[in-house]
Amino acid sequence: MFEIKHKDIGGRVGILKINHKKVETPALMPVVNPHKMTIEPKKFRRFGTNILITNAYILYKDFRNKVKDIHKFLNFDGVVVTDSGAFQLMRYGKIDVTNKEIVEFQKEIGSDIGTFLDIPTTPDKTHNEALRDLERTMRRAREALKITPNLNGPIQGGRFLDLRKIASIQMSKLPFLIYPVGGIVPLMEEYRFHELFEIILTCRENVPLNKPLHAFGAGHPMLFSFLAAIGVDLFDSAMYSLAAQENRYLTSHGTYSLEELREFPCSCKVCTIHTPESLLSLNEEKRIKLLAEHNLHISFEELRRVRNAIYNGELWELIQIRARSHPKLLEALKAFKKPFLERLDPVTKRKALFYSGKESLFRTELESFRIRLYRNYVPEKTTRLVILPYSERPFSKFYNVWNTESTHFAVATPFATVPLELENIYPVSQHIFTDDSILQEETLQRIREFIHHFKGRYSRIRVFKKVEAALEFCHSLKEMERDILSDIKGIVNFQFGYPAGLALENVEVRRSKRTGKIKEVYSDSKLFGTFRKDGFLIPTMWGAGEMKKLLRSPKRRVILMDEAVPFVEMGKSVFAKFVRNCDSEIRPGEEVLIVDRKDRLVAVGKAILSSREMMEMESGVAVEVRHSLK
């Protein structure tokens, strides 16, 4: 069982339940070498983990008569995952065990999750060779499942995305517990991060979202934030030990040799007590053990940082910091420009969006805003559109203008040309950008897009490029009556899609005495909805009912299974396993209409999961109910 608790981009903080044991994801599995346990498994609890991975092939070859119970053998009562020897097969070309033998052995010793003997495909292989390896892997997968269901389903295919897609789809049809992405270690070793991310994204997009994804061999902490953001739930690390054996010191942004360090930047127990010089003076066994402890400490520290970033909606900020660690990482961020990630990402975040480089412009939140603008928003027909240059916020206060029946204002920003009535919606009101002069070309492109999409709504269009000229124009305007009905309709259409805004008539608003922002919207003297801090509207049951009359099913809807209806009517949350169907455009964080199969409005709530996750997850909350019938 896997349940999502928090989300950011494609990253998920979740709970994975295996044999009545719980693992919080993203999780790191330290690799245990049965021949040389640099750190005893029972001590892993100190680092905050209850899951590890060890090599079943080594156990089978060298400890077969000693291992009856893998947990007792390792003196570890957490989750034990075993690999099959595929890594040795990739490195050495041959191992002396069959697929059936190694799977049966893992079953006998009580592995919580075993792995069949897949055929890893290195990036240097041709398409035909990779295809042959994949076909053999699939045959072995089916053979293994006849022995035990408690298995990983490794996804192979080399560097070829079409084969990775085929492998993901075919493997997903088989009842594996976890889906590791194999054959990626050479890409990491050669800093081919763009290819690595493309492969992971292809696998994540084509593997059901209720199944965890594992990046085989991804053990360096500098990669954790990137891989978590594209949907990796599990990592494994032998690097903490291997690096220590070579006197290498891990950090969250790279690796150093002990010889090039004058002092330790870390404050773990090892680094507090020792200096690089004193550590080098120790005997080899002691030095390796202490250095491995530091490497494991820094790995788990980074993983906790990643989980915290997901919880706070700051994963992109962490990624952009880490991307400066290596030019290849910064270049590889282009792989994140995927519609798949935008559909999974919450529409709003806890904190303001920071600009920290041009790659910030293809953040998923900004793409989501543009998609919603061009798909949902329909401006009222007016005689004139005036596009103002980017300025201080709130834009309406800075320019001292508002929309009227004859003039519609919009503001050109580097990520979208924003209609003035949407200025309080995230991320328009909650971002910190650099001087706009650096992003002039991007801003002009967004102006062209807006005009192209909405030119039929206006008889005249005027674009100001300089703030001074725009201010002079705005100051010259005579006092005009604000078209508040048009403004509220624009917001509702943007959020719920046209023609939801037509549900509003004879609009009245109540504003915050402190900020002046609209807090409540009334239509025909009835409360239609209240505004969230991020500018999105929370409709009342009445307001939602009025919009539902205009929105064709399943638009903006989450449709319940019959058995869940009585509970949701009483205000209980909607669980994913009770979602019959939903609008395929729903993103996490959106307000949705909750209906039964006859399209009767049951409740209104905030989506916790994306539409695809609602349909694929088997546990966890899909929608938090705000208002209900009873």
How buried is 128 (Cβ within 10 angstroms: 0-12 exposed, 13-18 middle, 19+ buried)? Answer: exposed
- Tens digit of each residue's pLDDT (9 = 90 or more) over 229-271: 999 999 998 999 999 999 999 999 999 999 999 999 999 999 9
H/E stretch holding 17: strand 11-18
Q: Looking at the domain assignment, is residue 303 inside a domain? A: yes
Judgement on whether residues 338 and 214 belong to the same structural domain of the protein: yes
Predicted local distance difference test score (pLDDT) of residue 109:
97
CA angle 93, 202, 322 (to 5 degrees): 90
Q: Mean pLDDT over residues 98-124, rounded? A: 95
Q: Looking at the domain assignment, is residue 30 inside a domain? A: yes
Q: What is the CATH number of the domain that holds 466?
A: 3.40.50
Q: Looking at the domain assignment, is residue 541 inside a domain? A: yes
Last residue of a domain, one of 313, 342, 371: 342
Judgement on whether residues 449 and 512 belong to the same structural domain of the protein: no
If we measure between CA atoms, which residue out of 616, 594, 615 comes closest to residue 606? 594
Put simply, whether the predicted model's pTM sits higher than 0.85 gets the answer yes
Predicted local distance difference test score (pLDDT) of residue 357:
85
Strand partners for 8: 11
Judgement on whether residues 280 and 379 belong to the same structural domain of the protein: no
- What are 159-167's contacts with CB under 8 Å, separation 24+? 159/123, 159/130, 159/187, 159/195, 159/199, 160/127, 160/130, 161/198, 161/199, 161/202, 163/127, 163/130, 163/131, 163/134, 164/199, 164/202, 164/203, 165/202, 165/206, 166/134, 167/134, 167/137, 167/138, 167/203
Residue pair 291/247 in contact (Cβ under 8 Å)? The answer is yes
Predicted local distance difference test score (pLDDT) of residue 630:
84
Strand partners for 621: 575
Examine the pLDDT at 477 and tell me if it is beyond 80: yes
Judgement on whether residues 441 and 589 belong to the same structural domain of the protein: no
Q: Mean pLDDT over residues 122-130, rounded? A: 94
If we measure between CA atoms, which residue out of 485, 482, 411 comes closest to residue 450? 411
User: Count of residues for the chain?
Assistant: 630
Q: What is the SS3 assignment for 89?
A: helix
Q: Mean pLDDT over residues 40-63, rounded? A: 93
Last residue of a domain, one of 287, 313, 342: 342
List, in sequence order, every beta strand (DSSP E) within 269-333.
none
- Tens digit of each residue's pLDDT (9 = 90 or more) over 489-543: 999 999 999 999 999 999 999 999 888 899 999 999 999 999 999 999 999 999 9
Judgement on whether residues 476 and 505 belong to the same structural domain of the protein: no
* Angstrom distance (rounded) from CA 137 to CA 106: 18
* Angstrom distance (rounded) from CA 338 to CA 229: 12
Q: Provide the mean pLDDT of the chain.
A: 94
Q: What is the 3-state secondary structure (H, E, C) of 156-201?
A: CCCCCHHHHHHHHHHHHCCCCCEEEECCCHHHHHCCCHHHHHHHHH
Residue pair 582/611 in contact (Cβ under 8 Å)? The answer is yes
Q: Mean pLDDT over residues 295-303, rounded? A: 96
If we measure between CA atoms, which residue out of 402, 583, 367 comes closest to residue 482? 402
Predicted local distance difference test score (pLDDT) of residue 91:
65
As given in the structure block, the two tokens for residue 395 are 């834009």
Q: Mean pLDDT over residues 33-62, rounded? A: 93
Q: What is the CATH number of the domain that holds 575?
A: 2.30.130.10
Q: How confident is the model at residue 92 (pLDDT cuts 50, 70, 90)?
A: low
Q: How confident is the model at residue 434 (pLDDT cuts 50, 70, 90)?
A: confident
Q: Looking at the domain assignment, is residue 347 inside a domain? A: no
Q: What is the CATH number of the domain that holds 182?
A: 3.20.20.105
Q: Looking at the domain assignment, is residue 423 inside a domain? A: yes
Judgement on whether residues 470 and 513 belong to the same structural domain of the protein: no
Judgement on whether residues 122 and 197 belong to the same structural domain of the protein: yes
Predicted local distance difference test score (pLDDT) of residue 515:
85
Judgement on whether residues 391 and 277 belong to the same structural domain of the protein: no
Q: Looking at the domain assignment, is residue 606 inside a domain? A: yes
Pairing of strands 601-607, 621-628: antiparallel
The single residue listed with the structure tokens 């006849």 is 146
Predicted local distance difference test score (pLDDT) of residue 516:
87
pLDDT over 70 percentage in the chain: 99
Tell me which DSSP letter residue 482 carries: -
Q: Which of 69, 77, 83, 487 is catalytic?
A: 83
462: containing domain:
359-482
Judgement on whether residues 157 and 260 belong to the same structural domain of the protein: yes
Q: Looking at the domain assignment, is residue 267 inside a domain? A: yes
Q: Looking at the domain assignment, is residue 351 inside a domain? A: no
Question: Does the active-site annotation cover 83?
Answer: yes
Residue pair 168/155 in contact (Cβ under 8 Å)? The answer is yes
pLDDT over 90 percentage in the chain: 88
- Measured from the Cβ of residue 419, the count of other Cβ atoms closer than 10 Å reads 24
- H-helix segments, 45-98: 56-62, 70-74, 86-92
H/E stretch holding 436: none
Predicted local distance difference test score (pLDDT) of residue 479:
80
- Tens digit of each residue's pLDDT (9 = 90 or more) over 311-344: 999 999 999 999 999 999 999 999 999 999 999 9
* Angstrom distance (rounded) from CA 587 to CA 571: 21
- Tens digit of each residue's pLDDT (9 = 90 or more) over 73-88: 999 999 999 999 877 7
Q: How confident is the model at residue 223 (pLDDT cuts 50, 70, 90)?
A: very high
Q: Report how many domains make up the chain.
A: 3
Tell me which DSSP letter residue 620 carries: S
* Angstrom distance (rounded) from CA 280 to CA 591: 58
Predicted local distance difference test score (pLDDT) of residue 90:
65
* Angstrom distance (rounded) from CA 584 to CA 554: 9
Judgement on whether residues 525 and 439 belong to the same structural domain of the protein: no
Residue-by-residue DSSP string for 189-249: HTT-HHHHHHHHHHHHHHS-TTS-EEETT---GGGHHHHHHTT--EEEESHHHHHHHTTEE
Predicted local distance difference test score (pLDDT) of residue 435:
65
Q: Mean pLDDT over residues 403-428, rounded? A: 95
Q: Mean pLDDT lowest for which of 498-502, 514-518, 559-563, 592-596?
A: 514-518
Judgement on whether residues 319 and 417 belong to the same structural domain of the protein: no
Judgement on whether residues 527 and 575 belong to the same structural domain of the protein: yes
